Chain A
Amino acid sequence: MARITKSQREIERLLWRAGFGPRPHEAANLARRGRRATVEDLLRPRGRQVGGRPPRVEGAPLDPVNRWGHDALWWLDRAVRTRQPLAERMTLNWHDHWATSNQKVGDTKLMMQYYWALRTHSLGRFRTLAHAMLDNHAMQVWLDLTGSEKSAPNENFARELLELFTLGVNNGYTEKDIREAARAFTGFTRDWPSKKFGFDTARHDDGMKTVLGKRGRWKPHDIIDIAIDDPHHAPFLVTKLWGYFTPRPPSRRFVREMARTYRAARTDVRPVLRMILNHPAIYADLSSPDFVKPPVVFVAGMLRSLNRTVTDGSWSWMMGQMGQVPFYPPNVAGWPSNAEWMSAASARARFQAGSHVIEGWVKEGSVSAKQSPKAALAAARKACGDPVLTPLTSAVLARYAVRSVAGRTDDWEIKHYFPERQRVLRHLILAGPDAQVC
């Protein structure tokens, strides 16, 4: 097997952190193009958003609106077939940032519109995305904007806007700012029988409000601008963006540089993403990765590395057991991250995911008794896209490759146990402890 170069390992790291992992041969091809050029490609996606044909699940096309579980499968499929990995990954990151759950919204069509709002603005101006979120009907239901009226302003959206979406917890605002902002957000309506959303000026509080030191007859969209223009916003947002790509804290100086860049680009996130994705921290410790893949990334990445698509419904509940179902974040603060993903229960679910892809892959009698342990391991690594393995896992695999067929000489044993060795090697490569991190 060809030796894997450092630049290829860097591309792999980049594709895991900024996308859903490499497809077969993708890292080798992109390594020739170079890392910086690849970052630029990721930042400026062109052409089709997804490749290949839409999958069929249990014999029929995905039906995200009408079939239970298919909404999550639909999102997973977008990730698996994406040809614009960073745009798609940022869509998932924004889903975490602007976390909205169908558990409360209860209308998958609205959630699909929410997806498209995130996807459309995933690599653009944060300000534009924020305004789109305020206008988004799923968000309006989720944070109780609809129905909030001047006699009883609901503070839910106002609070989360400042606390989670733009400034950060206890970062430069007061309870009074929340109450005043909530007044500005009154007037949104939803007519339940017709499912129509609207804005009723008679229910809107058009009085003077003071929010973050600015006084005026603020309307809903004014508050978005006021929050984004606040000096606390840029450092908060760029730090949050950084955290989606590496578990290491950024230096204060780098946060300042990112914030300056973000302001200069008038809240366009691409220049900041460029800084992050070219930062040495992303490529540190290539041989001992330490960032846990979110479940959606783990599953999509596994299918991508095998050139497979979403072909059955089990992924929906398996992602649930791993702790991440797209369209269903646990609360408005989004999902956990890094080490928080891993528990005995989620490890078992990730193991099960490995078993799911192993099923039916290596046929009985398909492996020769002449295959040496070394060749067996090489074949398994190649079949799985040759991902990074720690020295510990490599040693374990090598020992298993010897042990598993020792003394298996009868015909029936060869017919079964040599393929079995392949199954186990591949399972451990695809779903073992190393496969959970990138």
Chain B
Amino acid sequence: MTDPRQVRGCQDHKFTRRALARASAKAVPIPAEALDGLDRFARDGGLTRRDAMKGGAGMVLMCAAAATLTPRSVMEAAAAQQAQAPDAPILVSLYLDGGNDGLNTLVPVADAQYRALRGPLALGDGTVALKDTNQFRWHPSLGKLAQLYDQGKVAVLPAVDYANPDQSHFNSVAYWRTGVVGPSQELTGWLGRTMDVLGAPDNPLQAVSISGDLDPVLRSRKAPVGSVYDPGAFDFWIPEVWGKGFDAAYREASRGRAKGGMKASRDAYANAFRMVDMLQPLKVDKEHPLPPTPVAYPDTDLGRDLRSAARIMGAGFGTRVVAVSTGGYDTHDDQLAEHADLLSDLSESLWAFQADIDARGLAQRVLVMIWSEFGRRPKANGTGTDHGAGGLLMLVGNRANGGIRSEFPGLSRLDDDDNLLVTTEFRTVYSSLLEQFMGVEAGRVLPAIDGARIPLVR
């Protein structure tokens, strides 16, 4: 039986506040005149493979060069952070907004129940084999991801969720973002708290969401974090103001000592202008077009956002965490066509991203965690699927411990809501990544975390 709450939740979901904000942010580009007359000091921060081969110092040098041309202190924080840890790992959170259908992403073709439950949505023709198992096949759109898997660069975990899964988008995504299951007053995200442990007090680009408003997963208690919609056009701008005098005035007005709310206000402005300075090398305009990448990214929001992420990671800002999200996964109807398009975008974007970070010399440092707030109900509702449990989580990157890394419970026994049984808690994935990849004791980020870990990183 279809729970009407879910139908309601989903109609609503297509127009979430964040989706609206993203759409609106697109509608208000920074005009070209705002980009004129600026001193610039580097064409692009993205390092080529040759730069990287000159030695790990390449990225640090870029920052040092930048420091001679901008207020020195501005770049020092990032340069220092980068210099201290030139090989520091970078975790990218890629959120598939809406509840990705894991069962039609990594298809359990060997499960006798799959065809019966999925009916017209069941996939068979064109699905792609995995090199080491016949239990699953990839969705036909995921050819590139399948190649990465066969190269050992993709770890997949079917049926990741939490006990008694909540099928509301709102609740479930809040639990995943905060890392706290159940109703809570937690306002910070688990990656924001990770930065509270790891971060510097003065580098807002150490954790970046590629978005207009800050991704809640990055909200921190004290560490500065930033959101950048487009690193090629991050600037402050006042209509009909040509000179940059306002910029200096704002900086001066943000510098004085203060306490309480006034201090918070001045510090926030100072950090925002620091971001402008740091992102200067990534600026894109007529004379400084986007540098080409080894493989062209798809011309999609996701392709553009992952390219932005790669540019920021490659620029030596000491970035440790990046958050990207992409929507449309709430496939209650017309799923066959919609899901194929979404996964094709995902696969092609990841392929281009992987080649890009490889060329930038970052491939050994970057791990992408692809997650969604829940999976979808095994039984199809006609042309689509309703909210389920036990979603598919994937890790992509050279250091991913490639292979199937959690138990798939099968479709013959389902939970009380006819959903996939949950075999792995998402917080176990978080704690494993924190300790095996980020080098942070999980208990410092995740309250009351148990000792379960999965080997997810090489």
Contacts and interface: CB of A to CB of B under 8 A. Distances in A.
A344 interface: yes
B58 interface: no
Interface stretch (A7-15, A218-226, A316-324): A316-324
B450 to A, nearest CB: 21
Interface in B203-247: 204, 212-214, 216, 224-227, 236-243, 245-246
A325 interface: yes
Contacts of A360: 239
Contacts of B253: 392-393, 396, 428, 432-434
B20 A417 contact: no
Interface-centre pick from A348, A359, A427 (highest chain B CB count, 10 A): A348
Interface residues of A, number: 75
B8 interface: yes
Contacts of B18: 320
Given A159-B183, A420-B242, A344 B275 contact: yes
Interface string B253-273: 111101111111111110110
Interface of B is mostly: helix
Contacts of B168: 104
A290 interface: yes
Given A156-B183, A437-B261, A317 B254 contact: no
Interface in A271-301: 288-292
Interface in A392-438: 392-393, 396-397, 399-400, 403-404, 416-417, 419-420, 423-424, 427-428, 432-434, 436-437
Interface stretch (A31-39, A252-260, A335-343): A335-343
A298 to B, nearest CB: 11
A101 interface: yes
Contacts of B184: 331
A344 B269 CA distance: 6
A55 interface: no
Contacts of B213: 320-321, 323, 345, 349
Main secondary structure of the interface of A (DSSP, over half): helix
B41 interface: no
B8 to A, nearest CB: 5
Interface in B110-163: none
Nearest to B251: A396
Contacts of B258: 288, 290, 390
A397 B239 CA distance: 19
Contacts of B25: 317, 321
Interface of B: 4-5, 8-9, 11-12, 15-18, 20-21, 24-25, 28, 168, 170-171, 174, 183-187, 204, 212-214, 216, 224-227, 236-243, 245-246, 248-250, 252-256, 258-269, 271-272, 274-275
Given A331-B183, A348-B272, 5 more contacts: A192-B4, A339-B260, A360-B239, A362-B240, A404-B243
Q: Which 3 pairs across A and B sit closest by C-beta, in order of nearness? A: A290-B260, A339-B264, A333-B185
